Structure 1
Amino acid sequence: MDTLANLRAFLATVRGGNFSEAARQLDTVPSVVAKRVGHLEWTLGARLFERSSRRVTLTEAGHKFHARARALVSDFDDIASELKRDQDALDGHIRLRAPTSLTVLYLADILAAFQRRHERLTLEVALLDRSANPAEEGFDISVSGRADSYEGVVDEPLCPLRQVVCAAPGYLARRPAPRHPRDLADHDCLVFNPTGHSWHFNSASGPISVDVPARLGANDNYVLYASARAGNGIAVLPTYVARRALADGSLVALLEDHPLQDVWLKALIPARKRALPRMELLLAWLRDHLGGTPPWERSGDGA
């Protein structure tokens, strides 16, 4: 049997959770999927699934094999696509993950313009705010404001990502504004769960990190923004979310003598995909539209 077909059967079974769903995805019958998975297990000399009457679950060996198998099939599809593509027009598929609020406010328009310019490129965009290795999760590129780096993944800086500590005037009328980061321990804080409860500052005497109590935890900045504007506590927000509220006074910047440590928006690209022409094209497009001063920091930007 074709090893590639066996790998595809394995991956479809992982996605579907049983041979019947995998068969539906592959447009075949469950017995063929089961036979292909069995042949793959025989080839590897390891059991990949625990089987029950209704579901299959990955064994420890199956978990270890899964990410590598997905990468192998993805690499094959990339090579096949490159060999088949028309030399006069760039085509192919890009699977991208990006932060929710940034995409809704800015990246969606940037990506729409990119796809309008390159009609033969297809995109799949997933909005996820947690940190993850794009190579292991099957993405071609991950746009992230996190500091995390991964083996086998290239970090490409895009633009500074300025953040601000802020609260509503109503909250500050009830509670005195913090004068030093350590004062945050006595405040209601609104925490972005993916980055945790530690907030990191710079000062004249060096970096400062404080663990803050969370009145609210969320994995989306707009939830924190709404809560901060309602007067529920102090939040760290990116300026692309908070800038209008800061301008109209519904949020007030705090601790300006203790700026938050620098954060950069970056593109994470699996090293094996970095040189693909479609990835070079998208990366250049993102740098053109985000590089230097990002659009939300430019005067007159209407977003």
Structure 2
Amino acid sequence: MDVIENLRAYLAVARTGSFSAAARELHVAASVVTKRISQLEWRLKSTLFERTTRRVSLTTAGQLHLIAIQRLVSDLDGIFGSVQQVAPELQGRLRIKAPSSLTVLHLAALFNTFQQRHPLVALELIALDRPVNPVDEGFDIALTLMPDTFGGVIEEPMCAVRRLLVAAPAYLQERGVPQKPSDLANHHVLNFVPTGNVLTFESATGALNVSVRPRFSSNEAQLVEAAAVAGNGVAVLGDYLALPAMRAGTLVQVLADYPMPELWLKALIPENRAHTAHVRAMLEALRSELAPVPPWSRH
């Protein structure tokens, strides 16, 4: 088992860029992480990390081994998880990637409740909005709104997420209300970086694509929402952000006659992890919370 713990230490240092941060993640002393990395480097006959006073980074050899070790540890966790299915209580480590704003606003309570119900499950939750291959990056479940697909990965749809074009009433009073998508050329556009600078609208004659030059961009959707509420422009927001603001009257929908294609929140699960007990339990908890109607659409 020492080899497995050494591999886990290597992955934790690679993720965090720090021996001390890896130690906190693994709940061990920093000296233990240093010892495990030294043992692994001796076994592989390679230096895996460059150490500086500010940061620890992977060497060429360390980068070369990264994906293979991520997959190996994921496979081992899958084996251990399958064996533990006969245990009376769920146990093991569950590593999940989830969209940032959606998780903070609507899924945090679900994850907290899950861990209260299953105290032997160690939960690691990484908030990311970029596409992630859960096999390559060592996730048991990757929740995503992106359309990307990957080999060796099972996809389970959770719920639809509508995209709404919204603005503050004060902004529209000052700048006017756009009547068609092409009118956005004369408006300040606030953009969520991961979705790109081309907006697609549906119309009676088919899809309309509009390229925009954003006045403000951010990779955090809540910052885009805040800019819209402040009256700085029009923004495309997922309904989990837009609907509460619309109910409060701080944002209103524009171009309602030109709906945008909805996104799907889906779970990506490595095939070798899909049948482990704690992964199945988490997927069932997510389905129970999100399907058929997500919580933000129930009001």
TM-score (norm 2): 0.85
Query: Measured at CA, do residues 215 and 288 of structure 1 come closer, stay the same or move farther in structure 2, by a change above 3 Å?
Result: same
For 1:127 and 1:21, locate their aligned partners in 2 and report how far apart those are by CA, in whole Å: 17
What displacement does 1:237 show? 1.0
1:235-288 deviation per Cα after TM superposition (whole angstroms, max 9, x unaligned)? 011122121322243212111111001211111112221111211111111111
Query: Measured at CA, do residues 168 and 13 of structure 1 come closer, stay the same or move farther in structure 2, by a change above 3 Å?
Result: closer
For 1:183 and 1:15, locate their aligned partners in 2 and report how far apart those are by CA, in whole Å: 44
Partner of 1:120: 120
Q: Which structure 2 segments of 5+ residues have no match?
A: 24-28
For 1:18 and 1:285, locate their aligned partners in 2 and report how far apart those are by CA, in whole Å: 33
Partner of 1:226: 226
Instruction: Decide which structure has the larger Cα Rg and report it.
Output: 1
Residue 41 of structure 2 corresponds to residue 40 of structure 1: no
What displacement does 1:226 show? 1.3
What displacement does 1:19 show? 8.4
Greater mean alpha carbon deviation, residues 158-167 or residues 137-146? 137-146
For 2:137 and 2:180, locate their aligned partners in 1 and report how far apart those are by CA, in whole Å: 40
Asked whether the equivalents of residues 96 and 142 of structure 1 are also in contact (C-alpha less than 8 Å), the reply is yes
What displacement does 1:150 show? 2.1
Asked whether the equivalents of residues 168 and 250 of structure 1 are also in contact (C-alpha less than 8 Å), the reply is yes
What displacement does 1:179 show? 1.6
1:173-194 deviation per Cα after TM superposition (whole angstroms, max 9, x unaligned)? 2212222212212211110011
1:143-162 deviation per Cα after TM superposition (whole angstroms, max 9, x unaligned)? 22222222222221001101
Asked whether the equivalents of residues 95 and 140 of structure 2 are also in contact (C-alpha less than 8 Å), the reply is yes
Partner of 2:26: none
1:118-158 deviation per Cα after TM superposition (whole angstroms, max 9, x unaligned)? 33323122222222222222221122222222222222100
Structure 1 stretches of 4+ with a deviation exceeding 6 A read 18-23, 52-56
Partner of 1:171: 171
Residue 26 of structure 2 corresponds to residue 27 of structure 1: no
Matches within 5 A, 1:288-303: 288-299=288-299
Q: Which structure 1 segments of 5+ residues have no match?
A: 42-46
For 1:117 and 1:5, locate their aligned partners in 2 and report how far apart those are by CA, in whole Å: 27
For 2:65 and 2:276, locate their aligned partners in 1 and report how far apart those are by CA, in whole Å: 25
Determine what percentage of the aligned residue pairs are the same residue. 41
Partner of 1:277: 277
